[in-house]
Amino acid sequence: MRRILVPTDFSEEARNAYEVAISIARRTGAAIKLLHVVETPYYSSNFSATGDVMLGSDNMEQVFMLRLLESTKSQMNELLRSLPHDGVEVVQEVDVDRPISKIRRTIKEDNVDLVVMGSKGSSGLDEFLIGSNTEKVVRTAECPVLTVKHRIPNFNVREIVLASDFKREIGHAMSHFKNFQELFGARLHLVYINTPGAFESSSNLRQKLQYTAEKYSLQNYSINIYNDVMEEDGILHFANDIQADLIMMATHGRTGLAHLLSGSIAEDLVNHTRIPVLTVHLK
């Protein structure tokens, strides 16, 4: 792991994500980029993040944007000073753009290995109508995304839940999951949530999970069949039962109507659990 991206809106959750990223960077030697995106209406395209003004821009808009950028850069410097990161390379970037577009472009252009983002979570009508920037990144990012809600000083992982239906081709995701497990020397708990609507016999499921473990040469793992009414509830209950430090899942990355119709357990978990979630998009 060489490059970690931490998008920040200067919230408490984003600061928590930055602190976790520093812990991971100390283990891996990775460099961190702190990124804040100033989102502006379409008419502000005449202004750049460096403070340069294009022809035709409005004077009041210039003044507003200059003050906004000055305030943003001050907040960025304050965030840098707020947490010790000695021995870890941290660079900062402030840009004027649409947050999701800028994050996706940065991942590609900087060859980012991991995105660490804070998540406030959402529920009910707010979740249905607007979702969250974190959820959108989880759905579309081309690299693993670690979501963090609460402060975790000296982030360490001992117990990991890997939840899946073990039906899709998860080889691409599995390599990332194994790397994260090995990084912390953690125990990996493979779990299949058996629900009334998609019930399978325990013997068949254990064979399926054992096959997966052998196919990907997993080490230090356990195989678990957990019964619950819904998959998401089962994952959360199992994770709480074993006092998991991390949940890992693959996401299909569907968008639009397909996402609303099929849902995504990984993205729902990002919204609803207090436990950090590592997601990998299935290509």
Residue 160: its pLDDT value, please?
98
46's CB contacts (< 8 A; 6+ apart) are 53, 54, 55, 56, 57, 58, 61
Residue 58: its pLDDT value, please?
57
Question: Does any domain span residue 153?
Answer: no
Mean pLDDT for back-to-back runs of 10 residues, the chain (283 residues): 94 94 97 90 51 53 78 90 93 90 94 93 42 77 92 95 81 90 97 89 93 94 95 93 95 50 66 89 77
**142 and 7 in one domain?**
yes
**135 and 15 in one domain?**
yes
What's the domain range around 268?
Answer: 159-281
Of the residues 92, 119, 148, which one is the last residue of a structural domain? 148
Scanning the structure block, which residue is given the tokens 């460096």? 50
Question: Does any domain span residue 204?
Answer: yes
- Tell me the pTM: 0.86
How many domains, the chain?
Answer: 2
Could you tell me the CATH number of the domain that includes residue 210? 3.40.50.620
Residue 49: its pLDDT value, please?
57
**13 and 123 in one domain?**
yes
**245 and 210 in one domain?**
yes
**170 and 106 in one domain?**
no
Question: Does any domain span residue 132?
Answer: yes
Which is nearest to 215 in space by CA: 169, 181, 255, 176?
Answer: 169
Q: Quick check: 265 and 273 in contact, CB under 8 A?
A: no
